[in-house]
Structures are given as structure tokens and as C-alpha cells.
Amino acid sequence: MEPVITDCTLCPRQCHADRTRGQGFCGGGGKVKLARAALHFWEEPCISGKKGSGTVFFSGCPLQCCFCQNYPISCENYGAEIPVERLAEIFLELQGQGAHNINLVSAGHYAPWVAEALRLCGDKLSIPVVYNSGGYESVNTLRLLEGKVDVYLPDLKYADQERALRYSGAADYFPVAAAAIREMVRQVGLPVFDKEGMLQKGVVIRHLVLPGGMKDSMSVLDWVARSFRPGEVLISLMSQYTPFYRSREFQELGRRVSTYEYNKVAGYMMDLGLTQGFMQERSSAKEEYTPEFALQGVFAPASEEKRDHC
């Protein structure tokens, strides 16, 4: 059964849209909308593994970051609407192709549809479900997915309020994301790996180092170190920033992150004792790692496309 949302408060924007009649701030309407569903090989090693992550890109996003590399779907809402029954079929098709997990990218504004699709899959879906998020999430919405999501993969983009407002239009980003991440950890607990090193449960906090953002990056890492015991969460420090979308409207974002900036943040992370996780190679900041959003796998069975970066 299709969820019916007439007063939408699923995301922190609390826009109260009647999604049976139109779109909310995020771009979400009355049916789930997807841009891509395919095996994905460029997430963290414990997510992609050798066979790929069964990644489902949902259209729209409540953040609208000026530097989003996936802006055709997140900001321009590219995609196609499908019934919730088809979403469940896609999950099972990706599992049938050998995916290590089902990887839900920016799914928060479709959480009730995701919950229903997972219910329809039932015991047929036997691989972990990964919730891949910009971090700007409502705790109440996350609780709709409790017991259904095994791995949370949130960004923690900023600690600084002014940067969050300037780049993502969300002055409340940090307190909202911090509360969301605490809820994610409460739900799934400590990281658990299988014998092949694939993550089965746990939280991986991603942080993308931005040009000119060393101080803010260090503040983000300070919060993680204060908030969680060693090993309670994994950290993924990313160097892949590339000027995309509207980033060149901001002079300070019109370049890639320097090796000096990234290494300083990486060294600070080590000094804090945040040693469990991943660091991205500097070569990751390339446009060719960005996915092409054809409607792959939405109406037809999903298949591997060009390998892209997370």
C-alpha cells in the first residue's frame, strides 16, 4: 500500500507539504522517485566489497548543498516515479545480482515508502540494508526505520553554523545531524563485520574536507571524539571534493582541497585517536567518479554501469 503524506514533517525542514497534491521542499511527491539502481563499487571497502553495493539513488533532497556532485537528482530532482511494489522488487533484484547490501542514498524523505518496501520483501531480503545520508535527518523519521536498517552511513558536513547556512541553506545542520547520528548509533550499536570484512551492522560517519575548511573539519572530529567511545563508530575522511553545481558561486569553493589541508585534518584525526575507519586517496577528487544518472534499473532489472565514486 502506498503511504499517504498530507502534512509532511519527514525531514528537518518541516515544510508541511501535502504530498498527495504536490512536492515538498525536498522535491518528494506522492510516490517514491528514483534516478538510479545498480551495483556500485566506489563506497568504502566494507560496503562495496568485491561484488558491489546494491545502490538505490532517490530523487530530491532536503539539503540542496551548493557543491553536490549528485545535483541532477538531489537538486534538480531527476528521476522517475515508481510504485512501492516496484521498489521492493528492485531491492530483491539487486540482491539477486550478488550485491553485498542494499544501499539507500538520500532516502529520508521517502522513509515510509522504504519501510513499506522492506516489509513487502520480508524474509526474501537477506543482505544488510545501508542508509546513506547527508546527515540532515529527523530523529522521528529515523525511528520509522528502526529494526529495518543495519548500517547507517551519514555525512557530518559541518560544525560551523554559518558554513552550513552558506553552503546548504541549513543553519541548524550541526545540532540536527548530531542528534540524528546519536539515534543511528542507538539503533544499530557497535560495528559488526562478517568473515569477509563486510560491515553487517554499525555506523560509519563520513566527513568531506572542503577547501578552506580545516578548522571546521577539526571541530567535526572533536565532536565525534567527545561523543563516542573508541571503536563505537567508524570514520570515513574524504578528499574527493570537486567544484560542482553552484560551488563556483563561492570563491573559496572554486578549487580542490590541497594535499596540505587534507593531511592536516587526517593527522588531527589520528591525534584524537579516531583510528578506526577509512581515509580516501587524494586521487579520488576526479569528475570521472561521479555517476551518470540514467534511469538504470528503475523499470528494468538493475545492472552494473560505469563505476563511480561515493
Which residues are CB-contacts of 157 (< 8 A; sequence separation ≥ 6)? 65, 134, 135, 164, 167, 168, 173, 177, 207, 208, 220
Secondary element (H or E) of residue 169 = none
Asked whether residue 66 is marked as a ligand-binding residue, the answer is no
Nearest to 277 by CA among 266, 285, 286: 266
Spatial distance between the Cα atoms of 102 and 91, rounded to a whole number of angstroms: 6
User: Hey, which residues does 122 pair with through a beta bridge?
Assistant: none
- Cite the DSSP H helix spans in the chain: 45-48, 71-74, 84-96, 111-121, 139-143, 161-168, 173-188, 214-227, 259-271
Nearest to 87 by CA among 144, 33, 151: 33
Which residues are CB-contacts of 175 (< 8 A; sequence separation ≥ 6)? none
Asked whether residue 65 is marked as a ligand-binding residue, the answer is yes
Asked whether residue 310 is marked as a ligand-binding residue, the answer is no
- 197 DSSP 8-state letter: S
3-state helix, strand, coil in the chain (%, to 5): 35, 15, 50
Known binding positions for [4Fe-4S] cluster: 61, 65, 68
Known binding positions: 61, 65, 68
